Amino acid sequence: MRVLSGIQPTGRVHLGNYLGAIRGWVEDQYVNESFFTLVDLHAITVEQEPRELFSATLELFATLIGAGLDPNICTIFAQSQVNEHAALAWLLECTATFGELARMTQFKDKGHGSQNVRAGLFTYPVLMAADILLYKAERVPVGEDQKQHLELTRDIAIRFNRLYGQVFTVPTPAIPKVAARVMDLQNPSKKMSKSSSTTLGLIYISDGADEIKRKISKAVTDTDNKVAYDPIGKPGISNLLEIFAAISGRAPDSIAEDYASYGALKSDLTQLIVATLEPISKRTKDLLDDRGELGRIMAAGSGKAREIAADTLDSAKAAMGFVTATSTFK
């Protein structure tokens, strides 16, 4: 099966990104023909400082490889290096309607109804549809918040095929069940997220052992010191149990039975997180120290992606009636 997913190169990669998305991608590459894209064109739908976008892109690319994506097995590339994404997005924008895009809840949330939001934020989901449809992906692993964008992608594909002939594969979303949501360590009612107000609430992939220990020991819990899995009554401790569960593959309530105090749970969880993240950050750092090699891997990835993307774009253009380089004249 063909799989494609994307992640924005903004901010630093955290444990939620790893457990909720990247780790699943690493498994996917062994069973499916997989494409992973750093969606830098999506990042500029809100303001980005150019130097920060540049370094966040390199850092994310290195992190994905450090986390276990193998560029010899799957295709990893920066979206902006494959021009076909922007080109197909335009064709699709001319098939999608204003009403469809105005219904997207993420736009409504991020745009706050302001007249000053960038037009690209409004058309963002169509670019996402182009990312997916160019590679004829059948399965798209995404978080719950992206489900509506996937629905739109399906609608766009179905409509295009009906109007212009069969060009696109209609994709299905794949929402991970385990650790679909890692919560903020300081505010367990909120998702661990780049936009968190305090860095104490997030564990970054690049955090060292001391940092991880400090953040887990300061993680918010309640005061009764009874380890039990109860996401409503005990959200803080339940989040720690869920992280433990996601890493160890055990069930959170069975982990709870092993611990008589928060301290012991926190100490074992710290060790587990350190053991998971240490090798990843070591490989990431090594790659970041070898920019030449990183650049070569990126170029090879976009080269592989472009071959497929160019072919699909050409079919879509021909189907719509454009005279293309491969048109036959009768």
Q: Of residues 133, 192, 203, 316, which one binds ligand AMP by CB under 6 A?
A: 192
191 classed as catalytic: yes
Say if residues 44 and 120 touch (Cβ distance below 8 Å).
yes
136 classed as catalytic: no
Q: Of residues 3, 21, 88, 104, which one binds ligand AMP by CB under 6 A?
A: 21
Say if residues 220 and 236 touch (Cβ distance below 8 Å).
yes
When the beta carbons of 83 and 187 are compared against ligand AMP, the nearer one is 187
Q: Which of 136, 190, 194, 213 is catalytic?
A: 194
Kindly indicate which of the ranges 60-68, 189-197, 271-279, 288-296 contains the residues binding ligand AMP, using the contact rule CB under 6 A.
189-197
Q: Of residues 3, 9, 16, 84, which one binds ligand AMP by CB under 6 A?
A: 16
Cα(237)–Cα(270) distance, integer angstroms? 14
Residues 204/206/210/215 CA torsion (nearest 10 deg): 0
Q: Does 8 bind ligand AMP (CB under 6 A)?
A: yes
Task: Show the DSSP H helices in the chain as ranges.
Answer: 15-17, 23-31, 40-43, 50-66, 84-93, 98-102, 105-111, 119-134, 147-164, 209-217, 235-248, 252-257, 262-288, 291-320
110 classed as catalytic: yes
Cα atoms found within 13 Å of the Cα of residue 230, Cβ hemisphere only:
8
Cα(206)–Cα(71) distance, integer angstroms? 21
Which amino acid, residue 145? D
Cα(87)–Cα(90) distance, integer angstroms? 5
Tell me the backbone φ, ψ of residue 38, rounded to 5 degrees: -90, 110
Choose from ligand TRP, ligand AMP, none: what does 181 bind? Cβ within 5-8 Å by kind. Answer: ligand AMP
Rounded CA Rg of the chain: 21
Q: Which of 136, 147, 190, 191 is catalytic?
A: 191
Choose from ligand TRP, ligand AMP, none: what does 4 bind? Cβ within 5-8 Å by kind. Answer: ligand TRP
Residues that bind ligand TRP (CB under 6 A): 4-6, 8, 39, 42, 128, 131-132, 140, 142, 146, 149
When the beta carbons of 133 and 318 are compared against ligand TRP, the nearer one is 133
Q: Does 191 bind ligand AMP (CB under 6 A)?
A: yes
Site string for ligand AMP, 71-100 (x = CB under 6 A): ------------------------------
Q: Does 142 bind ligand AMP (CB under 6 A)?
A: yes
Say if residues 213 and 270 touch (Cβ distance below 8 Å).
yes
Residues that bind ligand AMP in the complex, under the rule CB under 6 A: 7-8, 16-17, 20-21, 142-143, 180-182, 191-194
Catalytic residues: 110, 191, 194
